[in-house]
Amino acid sequence: MSVFTTKLAASSEASRSLLCVGIDPDPRLAPPSVVAQPDWVARFALGIVEATADLACAFKPNLAFFEALGDDGYRGLRALMAALPKDRLSIGDAKRGDVGSTAAAYARALFEVWGFDAATVNPYLGWDSLEPFLGYQDRGTIVLCKTSNPGSGDLQDLRTTWEGRDMPLYQVVARQAVGRNGARNLGLVVGATYPEQLAHVRELAPDMPILVPGVGTQQGDLEAAVAAGLDVQGGGILVNASRSVIYASTGDDWQAVARAAALDLRDRVNAMRQAERAEERVGATG
């Protein structure tokens, strides 16, 4: 195991959770009483962490939302990174991907300046654009594979021929990621909105962590996604929820309601894990 996968496993065990809470500060959705305060981005982000830290194994700030808020966003992100529990995995959701020195600068920014444990990246420019990230062998590089958005199939489902076999492009990405995972610091992104494709990716990448967005506002099938994505140890997935948790309430009870939403999701996932294990035991003895 790598530093990345070891920390992920330890965090998941300590929290008894596969939940990843995405932090996307948006003044249009955040509680007005919070937005009206100075440094509201930091107050909001830290409030979500305070409410959910014992329920989540990972936190995933989406850099676009912080960057869109300018100086307020950057101050908020610095405060968030300083306050995140050190035993929880931090994922910089940046979806970076570029050539040469630019990719190296992105990797330095995410891993050295901001200090994330892992980052999401876009493989469209090819593997040389991801090498600067993979060079940080103590950090995780999580590759977009089959994303949760409705238009993902425009490119990701295109049929292509790779090593003499016909397959969709997202499966080529998964197969190539497995082949380049010598340091065990690679992961994949597959949306809960595509459980059948998630099952295919798990089959191709049986030991690789999979970040699974799309179970909340995007209405992905949680039960189908968990069943499709779990590895043989009953883990291996990070079920991400952002808006459905952090904006569960815009009233003064926003922290309590966010906690309740996170607790419900964590417990539902754990119940599904237990059910899957029970089915496996029945199958093994049947």
Q: How many CB atoms lie within 10 A of CB 67?
A: 12
Q: How far apart are CA 247 and CA 29, in angstroms?
A: 7
Q: How many CB atoms lie within 10 A of CB 210?
A: 25
Tell me what pLDDT residue 109 has: 98
Domains and CATH numbers, the chain: 3-285 (3.20.20.70)
Q: What's the token pair of residue 253?
A: 């009870």
Is beta strand 165-168 parallel, antiparallel or unpaired with respect to 159-162?
antiparallel
Each residue's pLDDT expressed in tens, for the chain with a length of 286 residues: 899 999 999 999 999 999 999 999 999 999 999 999 999 999 999 999 999 999 999 999 999 999 999 999 999 999 999 999 999 999 999 999 999 899 999 999 999 999 999 999 999 999 999 999 999 999 999 999 999 999 999 999 999 999 999 999 999 999 999 999 999 999 999 999 999 999 999 999 999 999 999 886 666 789 999 999 999 999 999 999 999 999 999 999 999 999 999 999 999 999 999 988 767 655 655 6
Q: How many CB atoms lie within 10 A of CB 282?
A: 9
Q: Would you call 153 exposed, middle or buried from its count of C-beta atoms within 10 A (0-12, 13-18, 19+)?
A: middle
Q: What's the token pair of residue 201?
A: 């990716």
* Residue 60 designated active-site: no
Annotated catalytic residue: which of 7, 86, 95, 146? 95
Using CA atoms, how far residue 71 sits from 35, 40, 42, 99, 112, in Å, is 15, 12, 11, 27, 20
